[in-house]
Amino acid sequence: MSSKKGRVILNETEFYYQYKNEKYPIEVREAKSDDDFDSIVRINRSIFPHDNEIDDYARLWIQHNSNSPYFVITYNESNVVGYILSVVKGGYKRCITCELEQLAIDTNYHREGFASSLIKISLIKFQHLLQKRLQYSTLKIGIVYLTTGCTNYSAQLLYTKILEVKQKGAKICHIYGSNEYGEEEIIMVNENLEPIVEKFMEEYRALKL
């Protein structure tokens, strides 16, 4: 399937992938099955080949993060197009700080709206999951931050647009060793995320997520 021909439609009443004249249902859900994790490894290895040296390490790395959910975005039930990993930092409290640790979309589907939808819906689901896990119904994700390559402009534009994050502080060094861009990282933060997640929840309340 070639890129640029499809588009994710996400609005108050619809969530689907439009490709040519077909509409495919989209789902954002917690990765659970071996197939889901195989897909995450496949996408991780193709997009971040330097993160893990071999596929087995990528698999182990995912297990290492097993306290935090990986959310995948799929269309037509089984096609996993991307994944996101968000991690709680600094402890459990009413106002949670969350690091957006990793996000990747299969290169065949870039610029079709998958990452934007994945971020929005996974945040709603992650907050709900934490509320349930801690039995704390008023818990909110209040702060989000992430690091990204200082010339990874596509990611920076995406995060600015969807999460309204801003760069904070100066560039930081190669904290992940030699990353795929071989460059320094920046930190982007939104310290007032609550209204944004509220807005997503309000907007997509009618969808069967």
Ligand X SMILES: CC(C)(COP(=O)(O)OP(=O)(O)OC[C@H]1O[C@@H](n2cnc3c(N)ncnc32)[C@H](O)[C@@H]1OP(=O)(O)O)[C@@H](O)C(=O)NCCC(=O)NCCS
DSSP letters spanning 23-48: EEEEEEEE--SHHHHHHHHHHHHHH-
Note whether 172 binds ligand X by CB under 6 A.
no
Instruction: Pick the closer one to ligand X by CB: 37 or 145.
Output: 145
Q: Hey, which residues does 88 pair with through a beta bridge?
A: 98
Residue 155 in the binding site for ligand X (CB under 6 A): yes
Q: Does 114 bind ligand X (CB under 6 A)?
A: yes
Detail the DSSP E strand segments found in 76-123: 79-89, 95-105
Name the residue with the smallest CB distance to ligand X.
115
Does residue 110 belong to the site contacting ligand X (CB under 6 A)? yes
Q: Which stretch binds ligand X (CB under 6 A): 29-37, 101-109, 124-132, 165-173?
A: 101-109
List the one residue out of 36, 159, 146 whose CA is nearest residue 27. 36
SS3 105: strand
- Report helix, strand or coil for 117: helix
- Kindly state whether residue 103 participates in binding ligand X, applying the rule CB under 6 A: yes
Question: Pick from 28, 62, 112, 188: which binds ligand X (CB under 6 A)?
Answer: 112
Residues 6 or more apart in contact with residue 175 via CB below 8 angstroms: 147, 185
Residue 148 within binding range of ligand X, rule CB under 6 A: yes
Query: Which positions touch ligand X (CB under 6 A)?
Result: 47, 103-105, 110-116, 146, 148, 152, 154-155, 157-158, 161
